[in-house]
């Protein structure tokens, strides 16, 4: 059985996506003398969702665009549920961060013939403002960020998974994080003055999903168990065009990015007919929630392709142009036997992003002293629907803010706190739950979870489906708790980690279900067929979920319209 080791660092960053790496660099700049450690479940520079970003980065750069226009697109896309000070910080910070990416970190984005940065069309926006590097934008960003982290010699804990946030013995805040060294299976307690939660979301509890399998909502699950409140958890975004390559390949669910539809690609039913103009005047360029819902409705009619999906077609466009602008996707589709550039491919809506997450302040602080949060672990920036291209902007903008905040906060207020030993023991015991029990079928549990979430808490929901899901998830967690894992060799014990992954996914699935049940209207990514209309925007409220004594408690809070109210606009105004 593994033993507990301990190390100390000034700043511990959980996650090495855009948020985590930007935070590490900004904290290093703000306070060069601090020890900074980046912990990642896989390998730094190779893990996380930012690396997988194809589409691009939204930012108002053109003289014909504006911060106000980007902000209004974000608020209207979010159906007025956004926390407006956070949305404003996003659009302002994006301008600073994109120049930092190019001028300081060496990112090379696509440019126009006159040398200006090329910005392409993305759905739900009134201006073409998406900066990109072909369709491999995330690789460009993460590669440059990782190079900087390596060159500065910052601490790294690779193949380490965070399993629990441990409070201080005296209740004064966070003492550190319990981790597992995946390479040995040993427990490691990392004592830190400040911790950044930037593990990303990853709705892999759904049958079709875009994130890699390592993304299992670990950060949100840890936050719930630590007593933090999460908001907007019912808002799970389904990207309309996930590749449908069959049931026996992980390529199914992989995103065919939104820029294709912005470029003019059509969505077709199984008979080869366009349908989106019947659902929205913007047709294929409507927001992701509208397109996904329309596709789901079309699939219900039975007019589908041989694998049960619909088609994304570029056959009417210039083939060479598609190959030039979208080389990564063309190559991936070719690997699966599909001709994206000259024909059509079968697609299905795929769970892509979680708008909900930990409630936090504009400086990335949380209600737990010493804990900061950034990226997809947070809620409030996007409201009910994230615009494509706002995700990587969110991670990098707030990652930088978090790094700046921690770099200022730690020298003045940070301290190494004594951990609560009882909390440490309880966290280790939770991880060891499956040891000594008879083995079971974890893959069957995963399949049941996918069925529950896709069928009953997916693109279209109602009270009956949510009630079914609530009971089924409780039963599924009990089933999981009775499944054993061999503990004779804990080094790279992937069965054990699968068990922990499922534990976190089920908890976050319960939070999604509970939040969806309390929202009795339809808004953005959340659609209730028994409450199909949106409630009055003027009385908008967001959901909140918190876990107390193992029980999820939900409530609602009114949205604060701090910059603009429904029916108003910032366009043409100096918003300051």
Residues serving a catalytic function are 239, 261
The answer to whether 525 and 461 are in contact (CB under 8 A) is no
Radius of gyration (C-alpha) of the chain in whole angstroms: 23
Identify the CA nearest to 222 among candidates 547, 475, 445: 547
Judged on CB neighbours under 10 Å (0-12, 13-18, 19+), 280 is: middle
The answer to whether 353 and 237 are in contact (CB under 8 A) is yes
> What are the angstrom distances between the C-alpha of 288 and each of 215, 436, 450?
21, 46, 21
Residue 447 in 3-state DSSP? helix
Q: Which pair of structure tokens corresponds to residue 240? A: 């309309």
Where helices occur in 213-360 by DSSP H, the ranges are: 218-225, 259-263, 288-300, 319-325, 327-335
Q: What is the dihedral of CA 452, 456, 458, 461, to 10 degrees?
A: -170
Give the CA count within 13 Å in the CB-facing half-sphere of 463. Answer: 5
The answer to whether 340 and 326 are in contact (CB under 8 A) is yes
Q: How many CB atoms lie within 10 A of CB 342?
A: 13
Q: How many CB atoms lie within 10 A of CB 437?
A: 12
Which residues are within 8 A (CB) of 576 and not within 5 positions of it... i.e. 6 or more apart? none
The kind and range of the H/E element at 424 are helix 421-431
Name the DSSP letter for residue 101. Answer: I
């Amino acid at each position: 059985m593994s033993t507990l080791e301990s190390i100390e660092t000034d700043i511990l960053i959980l996650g090495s996506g855009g948020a985590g790496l930007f935070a590490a660099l900004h904290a290093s700049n703000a306070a060069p003398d601090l020890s900074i450690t980046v912990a990642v479940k896989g390998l730094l520079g190779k893990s996380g969702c930012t690396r997988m970003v194809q589409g691009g980065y939204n930012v108002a750069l053109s003289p014909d665009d504006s911060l106000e226009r980007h902000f209004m697109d974000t608020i209207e896309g979010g159906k007025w549920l956004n926390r407006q000070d956070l949305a404003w910080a996003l659009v302002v910070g994006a301008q600073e961060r994109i120049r930092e990416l190019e001028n300081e970190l060496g990112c090379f984005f696509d440019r126009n013939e006159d040398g200006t940065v090329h910005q392409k069309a993305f759905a739900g926006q009134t201006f073409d403002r998406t900066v990109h590097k072909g369709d491999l934008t995330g690789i460009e960003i993460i590669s440059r960020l990782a190079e900087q982290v390596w060159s500065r010699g910052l601490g790294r804990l690779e193949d380490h998974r965070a399993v629990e946030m441990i409070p201080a013995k005296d209740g004064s805040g966070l003492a550190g994080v319990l981790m597992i060294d995946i390479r040995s299976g040993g427990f490691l307690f990392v004592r830190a003055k400040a911790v950044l939660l930037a593990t990303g979301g990853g709705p892999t509890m759904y049958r079709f999903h875009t994130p890699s399998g390592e993304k299992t909502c670990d950060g949100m699950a840890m936050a719930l168990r630590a007593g933090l409140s999460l908001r907007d958890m019912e808002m799970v975004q389904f990207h309309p065009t996930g590749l449908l390559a069959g049931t026996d390949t992980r390529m199914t669910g992989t995103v065919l990015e939104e820029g294709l539809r912005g470029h003019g690609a059509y969505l077709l039913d199984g008979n080869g007919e366009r349908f989106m103009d019947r659902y929205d005047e913007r047709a294929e360029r409507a927001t992701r929630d509208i397109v996904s819902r329309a596709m789901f409705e079309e699939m219900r009619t039975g007019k589908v392709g041989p694998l049960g999906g619909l088609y994304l077609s570029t056959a009417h466009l210039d083939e060479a142009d598609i190959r030039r602008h979208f080389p990564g996707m063309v190559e991936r589709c070719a690997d699966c036997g599909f001709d994206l550039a000259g024909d059509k491919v079968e697609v299905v809506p795929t769970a892509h992003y979680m708008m909900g997450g930990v409630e936090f302040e504009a400086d990335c602080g949380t209600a737990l002293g010493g804990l900061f949060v950034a990226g997809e672990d947070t809620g409030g920036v996007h409201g009910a629907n994230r615009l494509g291209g706002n995700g990587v902007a969110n991670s990098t903008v707030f990652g930088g803010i978090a790094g700046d905040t921690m770099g200022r906060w730690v020298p003045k207020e940070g301290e190494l706190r004594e951990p609560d030993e009882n909390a440490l023991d309880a966290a280790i015991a939770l991880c060891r739950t499956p040891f000594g029990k008879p083995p079971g079928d974890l893959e069957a549990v995963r399949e049941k979870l996918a069925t529950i979430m896709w069928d009953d808490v997916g693109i279209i929901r109602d009270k009956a489906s949510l009630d079914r899901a609530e009971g089924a998830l409780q039963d599924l967690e009990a089933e999981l708790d009775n499944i054993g894992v061999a503990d004779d060799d804990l080094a790279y014990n992937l069965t054990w980690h699968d068990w922990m992954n499922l534990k976190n996914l089920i908890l976050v699935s319960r939070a999604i279900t509970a939040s969806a049940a309390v929202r009795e209207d339809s808004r953005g990514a959340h659609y209730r067929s028994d409450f199909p209309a949106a409630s009055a925007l003027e009385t908008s409220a967001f959901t909140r979920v918190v876990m107390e004594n193992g029980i999820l408690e939900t409530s609602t809070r009114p949205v604060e319209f701090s910059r603009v109210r429904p029916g108003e606009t910032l366009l043409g105004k100096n918003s300051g």
